[in-house]
Structure 1
Amino acid sequence: MSEKKIDIIMDDPACKTERTSPFFRQLFAITGIVMYMTGTGANIAYPGVLLEQLRQPNSAVRLTVEHESWFASILGLALIAGICVAPFSLQKLGRRMSNQLSSLPALGGWALLITAKDPYTLLIGRSLQGFAMGIQAASGPVSIAEYSAPKYRGAFLATIAFSFALGMLVAHIFGTLLYWRAAGIACGCFYIISLVFVSLSPDTPPYLASMGKFDACKKSFRWLRGYDEGSEKELQILLNSQKKKPSIPRVSKFKMYTEIIKKPEFYKPTVIMMFMFILFQISGMTVVPSYTVPMMEEVTGNSIESYTSMLMVDFVRFGTAILACIIVNKLERRTVLFTGIYISVVSLFLTSFLLYLRDYGYIPDEYRWTPVIPTLVYIFGKTLGILPIPWAIAGEIFPLAYRSLGSGISGMFLSIMFFVVVKTAPTSFRQIGVKGTFGVYGICIAICGIFLFFLLPETKGKTLYEIECQFKGIKNEDVQTKGEKDKMLELEKVEEG
C-alpha cells in the first residue's frame, strides 16, 4: 500500500473519535505479526505430522533418519542467515517493510514443500522458511513493542506465545485430518493474511522518529494511540529524544561497534537475551512440537494413541498460551518467568523419575500412562512462563538506537540453539531416551534460571524509554511521580541534567 493511502487512513476523522479506540487500532497493527508468528508455530510443528506420513510404505517421498533430523533442524541454520539480514533490514527498510519482505521467502518455502518430490526440495523449502523466520524473529517483537501503549504491551507481546501455540495446534490438526501437501497449503495461508494486515498498517513511530521522519511519526503515533493529553506528552518525549540526539562523528565501523558493545544499555540487555533464548530452546520449546509423536509414545508407554496424545499436548499448550496473555499483563515479568521455570524443572524431573521407575518394573502395567500427568504439567509450565516472557522482554529491553543490532545478536543465539537442540534431539532420544533427555533439559533450565534471577530487571509497567534509562543507570528514586507519562518526563529531565 502506498504511503499516501496510509496517510488517508491515519487522517480519517474516525480515528479522532471513540468509534475507533486506540486499543483496536494497535490490535489491528499487530495482527499481521500475530498471523506471521502463527505461521511460524505451524512451521515448527509441521515435521511432527509430515515425517509420520512420509514413513508410510506408500509415501511419495522417502526420507532417511538423517534426512528427518535435518528436516526438523535446518530451520535453525537458515535462521542464522535471516538474523544476519535483520539488523540491516530493520534499520534501513523499517519495521513495516521488513515484516512485508519476510513473508515472501516464507511463502516460497511452503510452495516448494507442497510440490516437493524428493528430500532435497523439502530441505530447500525449509531453508527458505527458516530464513524468513530469522528476519521475523528480530522484527516481530520489536514491532509489537513499538506499536503498543505501555498498558497493553505485555498482553500484546504475549500474543507471540499464543500465536506459536495456535500455529502448532493448527498444523497438527491439519496434519491429522489432511494429506501433508494439503496441510501445507492451509498453513501457508497465515502468511498471506499477515501480508495484508502489515501492508495496511503504518510503520512504527519510534522507527520513523529515529529516521528523522517526524511528521510521519506524529501521524503514525496519533493513529495508534489517539489524541489524549497523556499520549501527546509521550509523543513529545519521543520526538525530543530523537531531535536532541548528538551528532556522531564518522568513524570506522570497527571502532563504532567497539564503542557500542562497551555501553551498559547495550551489553546488559544482550547478555540477558542470550540467556533468555538459551532457556527458550533448551526447555524443549521447538523439540517437543517437532517430535511430539515419538516422544509421547515413550511417555505414554503406547497406552494412548499417538495422535491423540499429540493433540492433548497441543490443547494444553494452546489453553495455557491464552492464560499467559492475561497473566503477563497482570503480573510482573519476573514472577511469571520464574514460576514457569520452577514448574518446568520439577515436572521434568518427576517425568524422568517415573519413566525410570516404569522401565525397572516399579509401576504396574495398568498405570504405565502415569508419566503423562507431569509431562502435561511441564507443557503447562513452559508455555506459561518460558514461552511468552523471552519474546516480551526481547521487544522492550533494547534501547531504540541499538534495537536492530541487539535483536540481531540475541537472535543469533536463538538460531544456533534452535539448530543444536533440534538436531541432537533424535540422537538423544535414541541414546538416553526421553527420560534422560528430560533430565538434561531440567538441569539446563535450572542453570539458566539461576543466571536470569540475578540479571533480569523488572520491566512491567515501564515505558520503553524508562527501561532504556534504567540500563543507562539514570536514577529517579527521589522524584515523586503522578503517573507513567509524568515519570517519563521526569526521566528525560534527569537525563538532560
Structure 2
Amino acid sequence: MVLKTENKLPESTKSSLREALPQVLAVGVKNVLLLGFGMTLGFPTILIPSLQGTHENESISLGPDAISWIGSINLICVPVGCLLSGAITQPIGRKRAMQLVNIPFLTAWLLFHFSTEAWQIFVALALTGLSGGLLEAPVLTYVAEIAQPHLRGILSSTSTMAVILGSLSQYLLGTFFPFRVVALINCCMPVISFVLLIFVPETPLWLISKNRINDARESMAWLRGWTTVESVDAEFQELCRQLNKNAVQATPLTTISGKLNENVPMIKKPSKVQMLKLLGKKEFLWPYFLVALSFFLGHFNGMTAMQTYAIPIFSSLKAPIDKYYCTIILGAVEFFGCIACVTLVNLLGKRVINLVSLVVCGVCFITVATYAHVVGIEYLDTLMSPNVNETGVFYWTPLVFLVISSFSSYLGIKILPWILTGEVFPNETRAVASGLSSGLGYIFGFLANKVFFSMVSNLTLPGTFWVFGATSFVGAIILHFILPETEGKTLHEITEHFAGRSKLSNKVQRKTNGVSEGFKNEAFEAEESRF
C-alpha cells in the first residue's frame, strides 16, 4: 500500500519534497541549539524564587539588589557575544561555530548545578548571555545560506519558536524540580546539539569563500536532496558565475576533477580598512537602519516590558483570573503566534504580516490604556495584591486585549528583525552585520525593560500604554514605505535592491511549477571573508 501511494505522487511533488527535506532537517538541528538558548532565558524565572532565602536546603541566599541582577545580567552580556560573533564565525565556519558555542552553555549549566557561592551563579549567568550572543551570527547566516528563497522565510521564523519552547520548558520543569536538578537536566541539550551538528553540512558559501570547491559541491548536493554532485553541477556553475561578479579575486581556480571549467575566484581576505569602508556603504547602512528600526518596534511596542513585568501589570489591572495563570496564557499564545507566522509567511509575505502585527498591537495597547484610564488605574501595584476575582465581562477587557497583542507581536514584529538580519545584508558584511544587529536588538530589549518603571512613574500606566500603541501605529506607517517584500526573493535580488541598482516588488515570489528554484538560487550568493 505504501508503494502504491508513493507512486501516485506527481514526480514534481516527490522532487520538491526531497529537495526541501534536507534543508528542513538542517534548520531543525540548528534549532536544537536555539532551544538550549531559550532554556537560559527561562531559567532565571525559576532561579530567583530559590535564592530569596525561603528554601531551607539552599545554601545560597541573595538580597533584593543581587536578585535584581539575575534577570538582567545575561541580557547585558549578550551584546558582547554578538560583537564577537561575526569575527569568530567567518574563520571557523558556521557549523563549527554552532558546535563550539555548546561548550560554554554546558559549562554554565554545570556551574548552576554545583554552585556553592553567589559569584558562581553570576558567572554562569554571564556565560549564558555571552554564549547566546556568540551563536547569533552563525545561526542567522546558516539559515540564510542553506535555504532556498521560497523556504527561507518559513525556516527563519522557526528560530523564535524554538527559543520560546526552550523558555516554556523551564517553567514546566521548575514546577516539579529544584533549580539544581533542572540545570543538570539541561546539560543534555548542549551535548545533543553538538552531536546532531556533526551530521549536517557546512554552507556552500563559506566553503567557497575558503576555496574548498569540492566540499562546496558536496554540500550543495546534500542540501538538494542527497543527490549527486553531477546533478547540481549546473546550479554550482551558476553560483560561481554570480560569485565572480562581486568577489575579491586572486588567481582563478578549477576543481580537482576538472569539471568546473568556469573561473572560480579565490577569495582574498579583506583588510580591516576595507571592512570599515564596506560598513560605511549604502548596501550596509540602509539594511542596518531597517533591521534596527524593526528591533526597536519589536521591543518598544510594549511586549518586551509586558513579558518581563506581566505579574505586576496583571495584578494592577485586576485581571479576573490568577496573575500567574495569565503569564502562562501569554507564553502559550506567543508560541501559537510563532506557528501562525511560520504558516502564513510564505502565503502572505513579511510586509502584510508585520503591518497587521503592528496595527493590531497598537489597537490592543490603546484599548487597555483607555480601560485603565477609565477605571482609575494609574500606577503599578508593586505589592501585587490578590486578585479581586471580578467576573463581569468588563473586567476581562485588559486580559483579552493583552493576550491578543502577545499573539500579534509573535505573528510578526517580534520575529521580523531576526528574519531580516539573515537576508538583507550584502555577502561581504553578512556575518559582521548579524552580530552587530543582534547586539543592538538585545540593547533595545534591555532599555525597554529598564525605562518601563520610569515611564509609568512619569506618564502613568495608561500614558505608557498609549505611547506603546502610538509607537506601533507610527512604526506601521514607516514600514509601509520602507519595508520591501523579501519573501521568495534571492539574496542577490535583495542586495541589489538595497544598493539602489534595482527595486523589489511588494509581491511574494513563489516557486514556479515545474522549475526548480534551486537552479537560479542566488540565496547561495557567495560570501567573502569578513575580517
Mapped to 2, the partners of 1:201 and 1:67 lie a distance apart of 42
5 Å matches for 1:53-452? 53-55=50-52, 57-58=54-55, 60=58, 61-226=60-225, 227=227, 232-243=233-244, 245-247=247-249, 253=271, 255-284=273-302, 286-299=304-317, 301=318, 303-359=320-376, 365-367=390-392, 368-425=395-452, 435-452=462-479
CA 1:252–1:188 in structure 2 vs 1: closer, same or farther (change >3 Å)?
A: closer
Moved more, 130-139 or 439-448: 439-448
Identity over aligned pairs, percent: 26
One-letter code of the match for 1:57? T
CA 1:18–1:85 in structure 2 vs 1: closer, same or farther (change >3 Å)?
A: same
Deviation track 1:413-463 (CA, whole Å, cap 9, x = no partner) reads: 113223222344466667767655444433334444443333221111111
Deviation track 1:225-274 (CA, whole Å, cap 9, x = no partner) reads: 14599965443222223345243899995642342134222221111111
Deviation track 1:292-348 (CA, whole Å, cap 9, x = no partner) reads: 43343334x264223322211111111221121111122111111111111112112
Mapped to 1, the partners of 2:421 and 2:197 lie a distance apart of 20
Mapped to 1, the partners of 2:396 and 2:166 lie a distance apart of 27
Mapped to 2, the partners of 1:459 and 1:130 lie a distance apart of 30
5 Å matches for 1:450-489? 450-475=477-502
- Secondary structure at the counterpart of residue 21 of structure 1: helix
Mapped to 2, the partners of 1:420 and 1:323 lie a distance apart of 28
Mapped to 2, the partners of 1:330 and 1:277 lie a distance apart of 23
Report deviation, 1:53: 4.2
CA 1:242–1:318 in structure 2 vs 1: closer, same or farther (change >3 Å)?
A: same
Report deviation, 1:187: 4.0
Report deviation, 1:51: 2.3
Mapped to 2, the partners of 1:151 and 1:19 lie a distance apart of 11
Moved more, 328-337 or 178-187: 178-187
TM-score normalised according to structure 1 size: 0.84
Identify the residue that residue 25 of structure 1 maps to in structure 2.
Answer: 22
CA 1:473–1:286 in structure 2 vs 1: closer, same or farther (change >3 Å)?
A: same
TM-score normalised according to structure 2 size: 0.79
CA 1:45–1:346 in structure 2 vs 1: closer, same or farther (change >3 Å)?
A: farther
Moved more, 318-327 or 412-421: 412-421
Report deviation, 1:34: 0.8
CA 1:316–1:130 in structure 2 vs 1: closer, same or farther (change >3 Å)?
A: same
Mapped to 2, the partners of 1:214 and 1:259 lie a distance apart of 28
**Which of 42, 45, 49 is equivalent to 2:42?**
45
CA 1:56–1:356 in structure 2 vs 1: closer, same or farther (change >3 Å)?
A: farther
* Runs of 5+ unmatched residues, structure 1: 1-16, 493-497
Mapped to 2, the partners of 1:207 and 1:339 lie a distance apart of 36
Report deviation, 1:488: 6.2
Computing the radius of gyration over CA atoms, which structure comes out larger, 1 or 2?
A: 2
Report deviation, 1:486: 7.5
Identify the residue that residue 529 of structure 2 maps to in structure 1.
Answer: none
* Runs of 5+ unmatched residues, structure 2: 1-13, 251-266, 379-387, 505-510, 526-531
Report deviation, 1:475: 3.5
Work out whether residues 238 and 519 of structure 2, in 8 Å CA contact, stay in contact via their aligned partners in 1.
no
Moved more, 214-223 or 157-166: 157-166
One-letter code of the match for 1:235? F
How many correspondences in the alignment?
470
Work out whether residues 39 and 188 of structure 1, in 8 Å CA contact, stay in contact via their aligned partners in 2.
no
- Secondary structure at the counterpart of residue 260 of structure 1: helix
Report deviation, 1:217: 0.7
Deviation track 1:35-87 (CA, whole Å, cap 9, x = no partner) reads: 12222223223333332444462363333333233211222221122112111
Mapped to 2, the partners of 1:62 and 1:440 lie a distance apart of 38
Mapped to 2, the partners of 1:38 and 1:386 lie a distance apart of 20
RMSD: 3.4
CA 1:370–1:179 in structure 2 vs 1: closer, same or farther (change >3 Å)?
A: farther
Work out whether residues 345 and 445 of structure 1, in 8 Å CA contact, stay in contact via their aligned partners in 2.
yes
